[in-house]
């Protein structure tokens, strides 16, 4: 859609906020109202509309119904936000209860609200609740990870690979155990999750991985706030990357590249305590 931006001269107070806030330097200083230039560089972030104290910036992407007032009293106090961040844990013990669609929708909204490079907003979500699909994803993960360690076990290559990538050998018993447990009906990949949300972007996005993982973190905080248990599906994402992302995308029915994922369910147990992390390493310069 072509960007159409104008400024209402009858209400603009020429405060300079739109000029100061616009990341694309579209607004310039004018005598009575700001000047406009290079409108096609607009990344449609809506900052100009959101910052204007007199609703004088008119942007065709942001009609009045898409602009909402923020009530400062509704924002969490810093201490409350930090408590939520401290309370958020990966919780892998789920009940048999489904996660409600209402909660899944709120979790997706939180993810979609995360920032994206150049405000691309090309982060897409696939919500899986079908038990068969979840099983297929776990089986794909185990099959792919097992295939990837086959080479490591080749007696001729082993001594060379051990020198080149010593770290990966620790995964051999882990993947073999995941396979053995799966055969016994114990899924160590998705751990009996009742839902999974996979986060993906078109392959053409330069920051698809970053955008997707920022979305994940918003999703995880929302889940925590809703009392929904979740964890990051790192093994699934690692398996996906090993098939150039094609196989998982195929299972999910998307052409995108899947960069992040979360397994969800209702918690069997709640963490009543948070514990300290290792001492933070931080330099203030």
Ligand X SMILES: Cc1cc2nc3c(=O)[nH]c(=O)nc-3n(C[C@H](O)[C@H](O)[C@H](O)COP(=O)(O)O)c2cc1C
Q: Which residues bind ligand X (CB under 6 A)?
A: 89-90, 92, 231-235
Q: Which residues contact 172 (CB under 8 A, 6 or more apart)?
A: 149, 152, 153
Q: CB-wise, 133 or 191, nearer to ligand X? A: 191
- Residue 202 has phi, psi (to 5 degrees) of -60, 150
Residue 247, H or E segment: helix 246-252
Q: CB-wise, 207 or 232, nearer to ligand X? A: 232
* Structure tokens, 175: 């993947």
Q: CB-wise, 29 or 90, nearer to ligand X? A: 90
- Cα(5)–Cα(154) distance, rounded to whole angstroms? 63
Q: CB-wise, 12 or 251, nearer to ligand X? A: 251
Closest distance to ligand X from the beta carbon of 123 (Å): 17
- Cα(172)–Cα(127) distance, rounded to whole angstroms? 30
Closest distance to ligand X from the beta carbon of 213 (Å): 8
Closest distance to ligand X from the beta carbon of 234 (Å): 2
Per the CB < 8 A criterion, the answer to whether 64 and 25 are in contact is no
Closest distance to ligand X from the beta carbon of 271 (Å): 8
Instruction: Give CA torsion, residues 158, 164, 168, 170, to 10 deg.
Output: 60
Closest distance to ligand X from the beta carbon of 61 (Å): 34
Give the distance from CA 107 to its chain's centroid: 10
Q: Is 173 exposed, middle or buried (0-12, 13-18, 19+ CB in 10 A)?
A: exposed
Q: CB-wise, 125 or 231, nearer to ligand X? A: 231
Neighbours of 84 (CB within 10 A): 13
Residue nearest to ligand X according to CB distances in the complex: 234
Closest distance to ligand X from the beta carbon of 90 (Å): 4
Q: CB-wise, 121 or 217, nearer to ligand X? A: 217
């Amino acid at each position: 859609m072509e960007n159409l931006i104008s400024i209402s001269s009858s209400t603009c107070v020429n405060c300079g906020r739109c000029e100061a806030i616009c990341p694309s330097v579209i607004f310039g200083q004018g005598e009575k109202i700001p000047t406009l230039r290079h409108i096609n560089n607009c990344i449609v972030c809506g900052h100009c509309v959101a910052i204007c104290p007199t609703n004088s910036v008119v942007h065709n992407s942001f009609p009045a119904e898409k602009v909402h007032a923020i009530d400062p009293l509704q924002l969490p106090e810093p201490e409350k936000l930090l408590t939520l961040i401290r309370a958020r844990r990966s919780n892998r013990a789920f009940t048999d209860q489904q996660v409600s669609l209402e909660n899944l929708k709120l979790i997706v909204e939180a993810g979609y609200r995360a920032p994206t490079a150049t405000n691309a907003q090309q982060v897409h979500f696939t919500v899986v609740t079908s038990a068969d699909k979840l099983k297929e994803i776990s089986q794909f993960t185990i099959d792919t990870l097992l295939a990837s360690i086959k080479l490591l076990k080749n007696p001729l290559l082993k001594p060379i690979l051990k020198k080149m990538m010593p770290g990966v050998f620790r995964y051999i018993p882990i993947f073999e155990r995941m396979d053995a447990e799966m055969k016994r009906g114990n899924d160590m990949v998705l751990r009996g999750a009742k839902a999974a949300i996979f986060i993906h972007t078109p392959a053409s996005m330069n920051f698809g991985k970053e955008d997707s993982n920022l979305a994940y973190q918003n999703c995880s905080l929302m889940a925590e706030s809703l009392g929904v248990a979740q964890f990051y599906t790192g093994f699934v994402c690692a398996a996906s990357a090993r098939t150039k992302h094609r196989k998982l995308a195929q299972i999910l029915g998307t052409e995108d590249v899947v960069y992040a994922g979360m397994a969800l369910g209702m918690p069997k147990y709640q963490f009543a305590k948070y514990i300290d992390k290792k001492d933070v390493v931080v330099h203030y310069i």
